[in-house]
Each structure stands twice: as structure tokens, then as C-alpha cells.
Chain A
């Protein structure tokens, strides 16, 4: 659990982060979303002390982060940034091995970890380990950047607009990968983005920031149904909020026991996707199929529509 207590950062007259108090749950993805200049990156960088707060403090697992030298703290916290920041003079394997080496891991352990991570990120070790960053595509560089951040098995992973430089198709894939990684390692992830759709897609909890303050902090559905501030409603979007709400629930969560003659939809699909499929096929109901092929239940259009209502 990460606790931010009254965090404030001022540069001269300008207050970039203004008295932010937040509790970030363990083993979940917390997204800080805001426009540029809202102070979201500064807030993130105060967690690993790349920026020292003017006042307030950060507790990780109940311990004040100022209790140890900043560089030792950072070795325990993964950090991935938008332009990946890979070291251009080091190979992919050497880049991933940076923090394990700083921590003095046995070479064999480091090597094993590098290989494991490359495989997880679908980068064949034989092909990619000895390449230099400039020989990779943008998507591959980004994956290596995240792999490097995860190398030393950190409990906490901070990500600053990690997918900002990717084109839409690769970005969707990278977001899926991140969700899988989070499930696999149970890492506590704090991610900063300006993209509200990305925030809803990834975040278990979302903090909306503006002008250095957190306007609202809660589950995505809460932000949609009970916006605490007109600005939150504007950011989340009023015109398609029902559809957004549908996209937050999976077919598995909404399925009713039984079965249907209609088309089969994946249990992991969102209600928005199921509805779209039903509209497309002109069907009134669908059966929800798990990844292992078993039937989870069924969904009707009416049942789906009821989920789009804020109640």
C-alpha cells in the first residue's frame, strides 16, 4: 500500500502539486489522469523521489520513503517512461539487467531473469538479447523499457505515459500485455496518462487531476455515474458515458445462468463489445463462453442495456 500524505510541490511561486492525499491499494492498477500541466507526472515522480516534495510525505508499506537514500529506494521501485529511455550504448539484455546488476545479483540469476522477461514480452531471447535499442521497432523498445522496469521484481511499478509514443493498434496490445503482467506478478502499478479511455481500460482506481489537485479518486464507474466535479464529467465525456459504463463490465460479470441460441461471445469481452456484436448480427441474446470452452451463461440485449444505466 502506498500512502501519499498532503504532498505538495512548489517551484518558486508556482504550485505544481497542491496538497494531495491518496491511498493506493496493493496489487492493483491505479491510474492518475489529467491534462498536461495538471501535475500528474510530478506527483508520480515524488513517489520514487525523482522530485523531492516541498511538504508532505510518501509511505510505502507504512514506511516513510525518506528513510533511505533515494537511489536505494528507486532500485526497489520499477520506473518506465514514455520515450522508454533505453541506454543506447547497451544491448537489450544489458538494459534489462541494469537494476539487478545495481543490486548485485548473481550473474546467473540476472541472466535467467532477463531471459524470462524477454519471453514474457514475446521477444525471442536468441534474436533480441544482443540487439541495440536503435535496432528495435517503437513497440519493441517500449516492451524492453517495461521489462527493464520489472527486472528486479519490484513490488511497485511507476509508469509515466508508458504508451504515449505508440500507434493505436500497438498501444491496445501493450495495454493488454500490461493487464496480463499485473495479474502474473501481482505488482502494484501507478500509471500516469492523459488518455481517459486508457485510464478506464487499465485502472482499478482512477484519480483525476487538474491544476495540481486531485478532483476525484475512485473506481471508473464511480467517476462516470457520480462525477464529483463538472470538470470530471467533462473529462470522462457526457455524450457516450453510457457506452463507457458498458465497457467497464465484462460479459462474465453480467452473464445470467442458462444458455442462448444466439452468437457465442468471449467471457472477457466487455458489455459494449457484446452489444455491438448483437446489433451487428441482429440477434437478441448471446451465450457467454469461457476461454476453456465452457458456457458461463447468457446475455440479452435488455440485460446489457440495464448495465448502461447509472443505478
Chain B
């Protein structure tokens, strides 16, 4: 008879050790007397009452124990989620206690210790979600729930004394504008890319001779560094605006949204074209042969059989582009394209880390949401197909 050995979870152990080291060596919060001066690191014990500090560390230890010793995905999920809530609460409490009432000048920013803790807990949560093997709809529902909770706590002002929210309060109007521009640039370039890349992919599939040339060219474009591509595009688009008045009236110019959207569009082509070709190639020749033999017109074979069967792979390409473009759009701010990158570059210019975070965190959140949504969609479409 074999006795099942007690299993220690490797990922849980690694993350627990990492977080423990970080919490011991790195500050939990950073206190600054104003926006620009270097901060003064603070340990949690120095800020919160003893009982709260002990309670918080006990909670973190509990999560670590679950992460190391328990294999139930549900318990791991609940524990890591509880850990995130506790960390957020501790951070908000620390900010409240360090900020004198009514003072809008001092800044309390999350310290490196907090970030490592959050990273560890975030990884544990996503790992637990993956192990639960949730249905696509359940994953989307979970995402909506998390977004709802995040939104209500932010709207409630629980984190208002935190430096990032201070930056948000100052920039609230611009934040809404840049968010719309960011999403607009991503959606516009992606939409245009799909319209162009899908037929191009189909063409490459049908005419194999074209494939090396097209994919090679797109590959080349992909290797141009984004900043260089923005720069390269400034000249021709500027010329276009000066020589064709209509183009200028449509808002095309050497800087701004036009070169940004163009560059994003160009970067979007390769993943979609390549995945369209790969997806169509995955369709069994017997299936296509049967479809033709049944009397489907060429268009029916393409739309009802080939595209539908290739869709999960094509969508995987679109997912890559979506996440890639959400990140790349930040750089568009360099040439006046707008978007969350505006805050990032402004923050770098002013050495105001909090402002950088105001641009970076929504970008990451946006990319994460897009990935979850598209993954769910792909999984739904890929069911029962093999």
C-alpha cells in the first residue's frame, strides 16, 4: 500500500519566501512631505497600531500557510483574495494615519514591500483561478465582480489619501479624456488592422507564393522599434498634411493621433495575418473538400466552414494585438498621440512616480481585462471542434 506523500506546493512556497523577504527588507509605505521630494520609507509597525500590525501579519502568514500546504483551488483562491483585501486595507489605513487631517500636500505612496506583496498575491490568485478550471462565463463574471468592487472602493474614497489617488484628483478631467483616447487608438488601429489583415491572411493561404513575401515584410515592420517607427511616420504624414489640405482638415499631421494610429495599425498586421494563415491551415482538407462536394459556393465554404473553424486561432492573434497595442499606445504620448502614456511621460519629466503610476496602472488593468475577455471568447468558440 502506498501512502500519499504530503505535498508542498512549489509555487506557493516560492512566492511566500519572496514576499517574506520583501516584507522584512523593503518598506511597506513611503512618506513624502510633498510631491517631488525623495520619500522616507516606513515599516507598517511604525504606522499602524500594534494590534492592527499583528493582525495583518497574521493574515499574511495564514495566506502563506494555505499557499504552501493546501491543494484545494477554492481555498487557495479565497485565501489569496482575502490577502489582497487585507493588504489594500492596510495600505489605506496607513495612508489615512500618515496624512494630517485636511493636508493635501503630503504624499503616502505604496512602498516596494507592498508591491512585491501585491504581486505575490496576484500571482497566487490567478494561479488559483486557473486551477479551478472555471468556465469562460464564470471567469468573465469574476472579472466583472472584481472591477465592480475596485470601482466602488475607489469611488467611496477609501484610497483618497494614497498618492496615486491624489494625482488622480488633480487630473480627473484629463484622465477621462486620455482614457477615451487610449481606448480609441487601440480600438481604431485594431479595427482597421482586422479589416486589412483578414483578407490578406486569406489571400496568403490561397496563394502560397505570396506567403513568404507578405509575412517577411510584416516581420520586418515588427522589428522596427516603436519609437523609431513613430519617428519614421512623422515625416511622410507631415508632408501629406502640408501638400493635401483635405488630409490636414481630417486631422492628419506629422504628430498626434495619425502617426500613432498608423504605427499601431502596422504592428497589428503580422499577428493577425500569421494567425489567419495558421488557422486556415488547421482546417482539414477533407472538410473543405466535402463542403465543396456538397455544393457550397466558394464564399459559403470560406465563411461558413473555413473562417468559422479558423476563428479561435484568428482570435488568438487578435488577442495578442489587443494586449500589445494597449501597452504600445502608452508610447504614442511621446508624439502627442495622447492616452495613458501622457501621464507616464509627464511623471517621468517631473520625477513624480505617482503620476507615472496613474498612467501605468490603468494600462496594465486594461490589458489584463482585454486578455481575460478574449481568452474566454476563444475558449467558448473552440469547444466541440476537434
Residue from B291, B293, B300 with most neighbouring chain A CB atoms (10 Å): B293
Could you tell me how many residues of chain B have their Cβ less than 8 Å away from some Cβ of chain A?
Answer: 19
Whether B289 and A75, one on each chain, are in contact in the complex, defined by CB atoms closer than 8 angstroms, is no
Whether B290 and A81, one on each chain, are in contact in the complex, defined by CB atoms closer than 8 angstroms, is yes
Complex CA distance for A276 and B281, rounded to whole angstroms: 51
Complex CA distance for A148 and B296, rounded to whole angstroms: 14
B73 contacts chain A at the CB level, 8 A cutoff: no
Whether B294 and A74, one on each chain, are in contact in the complex, defined by CB atoms closer than 8 angstroms, is yes
User: For chain B residues 290-307, which have a beta carbon within 8 Å of chain A?
Assistant: 290-297, 300, 305
Whether A84 and B384, one on each chain, are in contact in the complex, defined by CB atoms closer than 8 angstroms, is no
Contacts A81-B286, A83-B284, A83-B286 known; A88 to B386 CB distance under 8 Å? Answer: yes
Whether B384 and A75, one on each chain, are in contact in the complex, defined by CB atoms closer than 8 angstroms, is no
B286 — which chain A residues lie within 8 A by C-beta? Answer: 81-85
Task: Kindly supply a per-residue 1/0 record for chain B positions 186-209, scoring 1 wherever the CB is within 8 Å of any chain A CB and 0 otherwise.
Answer: 000000000000000000000000
A82 — which chain B residues lie within 8 A by C-beta? Answer: 286
Complex CA distance for A148 and B308, rounded to whole angstroms: 20
Whether B290 and A79, one on each chain, are in contact in the complex, defined by CB atoms closer than 8 angstroms, is yes
Complex CA distance for A71 and B302, rounded to whole angstroms: 14
Contacts A50-B289, A79-B290 known; A71 to B297 CB distance under 8 Å? Answer: yes
Contact of A99 among B289, B292, B295 (CB under 8 A): B295
Complex CA distance for A194 and B326, rounded to whole angstroms: 57
Q: Which residues of A contact B (CB under 8 A)?
A: 48, 50, 71-76, 79, 81-89, 98-99, 102, 132, 134, 145, 148, 158
A84 — which chain B residues lie within 8 A by C-beta? Answer: 286, 290
Complex CA distance for A165 and B248, rounded to whole angstroms: 64
Whether B384 and A74, one on each chain, are in contact in the complex, defined by CB atoms closer than 8 angstroms, is no
Complex CA distance for A76 and B300, rounded to whole angstroms: 17
B44 contacts chain A at the CB level, 8 A cutoff: no
19 additional A-B pairs beyond A75-B295, A85-B287, beta carbons within 8 Å, are A71-B292, A71-B297, A75-B294, A79-B290, A79-B293, A79-B294, A81-B289, A81-B290, A85-B284, A85-B286, A85-B291, A88-B385, A89-B308, A89-B385, A102-B296, A102-B300, A132-B385, A134-B386, A148-B294
| Min distance, Cβ A192 to any Cβ of chain B, angstroms | 13
Residue from B292, B300, B305 with most neighbouring chain A CB atoms (10 Å): B292
Whether A50 and B292, one on each chain, are in contact in the complex, defined by CB atoms closer than 8 angstroms, is yes
Q: Which residues of B contact A (CB under 8 A)?
A: 284, 286-287, 289-297, 300, 305, 308-309, 384-386
B297 — which chain A residues lie within 8 A by C-beta? Answer: 71
Complex CA distance for A99 and B290, rounded to whole angstroms: 11
Whether B295 and A102, one on each chain, are in contact in the complex, defined by CB atoms closer than 8 angstroms, is yes
Contacts A71-B295, A99-B295, A134-B386 known; A88 to B290 CB distance under 8 Å? Answer: no
Residue from A73, A87, A132 with most neighbouring chain B CB atoms (10 Å): A87
Complex CA distance for A212 and B326, rounded to whole angstroms: 59
Contacts A86-B287, A89-B308 known; A81 to B293 CB distance under 8 Å? Answer: yes
Complex CA distance for A99 and B294, rounded to whole angstroms: 6
A73 — which chain B residues lie within 8 A by C-beta? Answer: 295
List 13 A–B pairs whose Cβ atoms lie within 8 Å, in order of A's numbering. A48-B293, A50-B293, A71-B296, A76-B295, A79-B290, A84-B290, A87-B290, A87-B291, A88-B384, A134-B384, A134-B385, A134-B386, A148-B294
| Min distance, Cβ B304 to any Cβ of chain A, angstroms | 8
Complex CA distance for A99 and B296, rounded to whole angstroms: 8
B385 — which chain A residues lie within 8 A by C-beta? Answer: 88-89, 132, 134
Complex CA distance for A87 and B294, rounded to whole angstroms: 11
Whether A74 and B290, one on each chain, are in contact in the complex, defined by CB atoms closer than 8 angstroms, is no
A75 — which chain B residues lie within 8 A by C-beta? Answer: 294-295
Whether B295 and A72, one on each chain, are in contact in the complex, defined by CB atoms closer than 8 angstroms, is yes
Whether B289 and A85, one on each chain, are in contact in the complex, defined by CB atoms closer than 8 angstroms, is yes
Q: Which residue of B lies closest to A82 (CB)?
A: B286
A148 — which chain B residues lie within 8 A by C-beta? Answer: 294
Contacts A83-B284, A83-B286, A85-B284 known; A132 to B292 CB distance under 8 Å? Answer: no
Whether A85 and B290, one on each chain, are in contact in the complex, defined by CB atoms closer than 8 angstroms, is yes
Complex CA distance for A277 and B282, rounded to whole angstroms: 51
